[in-house]
Chain A
């Protein structure tokens, strides 16, 4: 090590720096490598089965052959119900927490604590709750509606906490300056604070959608197993993740189609992600230009 001898000051520090660099790089490479391995495995296993027919046709022979058309439709509907039911209350709660209550107030602390506890509850518990409450008590039965509402409960804590942090990250200077200009709090919120927090709101929504899309346990008891095309939201519908689970665990010879379905799930997630990012950018540019 020529540098170490040339600079006699703290050669130990330089060695330590190099070690740290090595550790950090290898950790990053490991994570990236794992991700690539996973993606390539799904891609190689699934791409041969993928076709337009696979995406549109109903499954045959318990999913060993045929496609996943109705399953994609059910997944989309469950997701729509979940988003529609969770975003408005999440946004409202986040605004209440961030803008209309003090961070250290008893109210804020107790709401935040319950959200953190909720966020840590295993999804199977949400599934049982959804089954007991939506399917049985409210009489919605095994339906897309029950499944979507259960997912909404599950992602609510993530949505609220990310939205709240996003709003809090908007500088207080904006609030003061807006107030000094005679803007009402709601106007400041609509035109200034929400647009500023938009990237965080979108990131939270992505996290929520990601969790909802990948969810299996909470849906088995709520939206059910039925793999035909749903007629309405009151129909049972099988989500993609439930389908993948069923094909791998319960159906002998369903592996190939399971991988193809997994590939579709991953691609769908990436698409939703990309679409949300584009939408957020456009919304931001319409109302706000960041330097």
Chain B
């Protein structure tokens, strides 16, 4: 049973568009992503509800995440955006008393299936946290740790991956002479980029980002934002942000969450421009214009 699930997962390894030049060593200059006017759903979420014990956290969420696009989730604190992200990589499994109902599928894979290989899922779906969490290890070992678990042990191969992902996040030139220095000694912005590099090393198709810039100063935040822009196309990014301007700048799609009857729910989902410029719901209009929230 779980073997077939794994096969399903593996089919999603190749999220790089074939027409894109992926021989480029870095992700290249800042670029607009592929036009998302032909949306191809990668993850389909239907009637998703999450409860912590008796307390409902999310109620009846239905939306599609499109391949290669940046999807921003906006809304006030406590409306379940982070919970939504942790359903997608099954970090909800680690929360005692957390119950998830509904359907979340990636292709034909049921992501909520109890027998799903969650380790394989989490390699496919990387996650960046709000506060950078560099492990108290060297910069190099922070990246290698998960690769070793992945049975990659050849020195040359490891070195190649370390250099590539650090280049991808624009950190290589800053740290190439001190790869053995402790990662927690890096600045906040560098730490967050290291965490992104660490996630990229596993070659995920999807990146979940939980307010990746909110713990950073404006300049570091700008650097990370540019980086996220460059991930578009190669990776499917779902980003939770409280920074509406940021969501507007980088996202192709936006979902607006709100708390209704003490449970988070999705008010509106659509193309980012539509959500910000011509929202269908009054609540969305009030929130994006700053009148509420």
Q: State the A residues within 8 Å of B (CB).
A: 102, 173-184, 187, 191-192, 195-196, 287-291
Question: B126 in the interface, Cβ–Cβ < 8 Å?
Answer: yes
User: A102, A173, A184: which contacts B149 (Cβ < 8 A)?
Assistant: A184
Instruction: Give Cα A291–Cα B183 distance, bound, in whole angstroms.
Output: 8
Instruction: Give Cα A229–Cα B289 distance, bound, in whole angstroms.
Output: 87
Question: B167 in the interface, Cβ–Cβ < 8 Å?
Answer: no
| Minimum CB–CB distance for B197 against chain A, Å | 12
Main secondary structure of the interface of A (DSSP, over half): helix
Whether B182 lies near A182 (C-beta < 8 A) is no
Whether A289 lies near B136 (C-beta < 8 A) is yes
Whether A182 lies near B119 (C-beta < 8 A) is yes
Whether B94 lies near A179 (C-beta < 8 A) is yes
Instruction: Give Cα A174–Cα B131 distance, bound, in whole angstroms.
Output: 11
Whether A180 lies near B145 (C-beta < 8 A) is no
Instruction: Give Cα A178–Cα B148 distance, bound, in whole angstroms.
Output: 13
Instruction: Give Cα A165–Cα B38 distance, bound, in whole angstroms.
Output: 54
Whether B135 lies near A174 (C-beta < 8 A) is yes
User: B94, B138, B149: which contacts A183 (Cβ < 8 A)?
Assistant: B149
| Minimum CB–CB distance for B279 against chain A, Å | 32
Can you name 26 A-B residue pairings with CB atoms under 8 Å? A176-B129, A177-B129, A180-B89, A180-B127, A181-B122, A181-B123, A181-B126, A181-B145, A181-B198, A181-B202, A182-B119, A182-B122, A182-B149, A182-B202, A183-B119, A183-B149, A184-B149, A187-B149, A192-B145, A196-B136, A288-B136, A288-B137, A289-B136, A289-B180, A289-B183, A291-B184
Question: B181 in the interface, Cβ–Cβ < 8 Å?
Answer: yes
Question: B96 in the interface, Cβ–Cβ < 8 Å?
Answer: yes
Instruction: Give Cα A196–Cα B137 distance, bound, in whole angstroms.
Output: 10
Whether A289 lies near B146 (C-beta < 8 A) is no
| B94: nearest chain-A partner, CB-CB | A179
Question: B166 in the interface, Cβ–Cβ < 8 Å?
Answer: no
A174-B133, A192-B135, A290-B182 known; A179+B202 contact, CB < 8 A: no
Whether A176 lies near B146 (C-beta < 8 A) is no
Whether A182 lies near B146 (C-beta < 8 A) is yes
Q: State the B residues within 8 Å of A (CB).
A: 89, 91, 94, 96, 119-123, 126-127, 129, 131, 133, 135-138, 145-146, 148-150, 180-185, 195, 198-199, 202
Which residues of the partner chain B approach A178 to less than 8 Å between Cβ atoms?
A: 135, 145
Q: What are the 10 closest A-B residue pairs judged by CB atoms, nearest first?
A: A291-B184, A182-B123, A180-B127, A289-B182, A182-B122, A177-B133, A181-B146, A291-B182, A173-B133, A291-B185
Instruction: Give Cα A55–Cα B14 distance, bound, in whole angstroms.
Output: 70
Which residues of the partner chain A approach B122 to less than 8 Å between Cβ atoms?
A: 179-182
Instruction: Give Cα A82–Cα B17 distance, bound, in whole angstroms.
Output: 62
Whether B94 lies near A176 (C-beta < 8 A) is yes
Instruction: Give Cα A26–Cα B129 distance, bound, in whole angstroms.
Output: 48
Which residues of the partner chain B approach A179 to less than 8 Å between Cβ atoms?
A: 91, 94, 122
Instruction: Give Cα A288–Cα B123 distance, bound, in whole angstroms.
Output: 23
Whether B135 lies near A177 (C-beta < 8 A) is yes
Which residues of the partner chain A approach B119 to less than 8 Å between Cβ atoms?
A: 182-184
| Minimum CB–CB distance for A177 against chain B, Å | 4
Which residues of the partner chain B approach A177 to less than 8 Å between Cβ atoms?
A: 129, 133, 135, 195
A176-B94, A181-B199 known; A289+B138 contact, CB < 8 A: yes
Beyond A177-B195, A187-B148, A289-B138, 13 additional pairs, beta carbon < 8 A: A174-B135, A178-B145, A179-B94, A182-B149, A183-B146, A183-B149, A187-B145, A191-B145, A192-B145, A287-B137, A288-B137, A290-B182, A291-B184
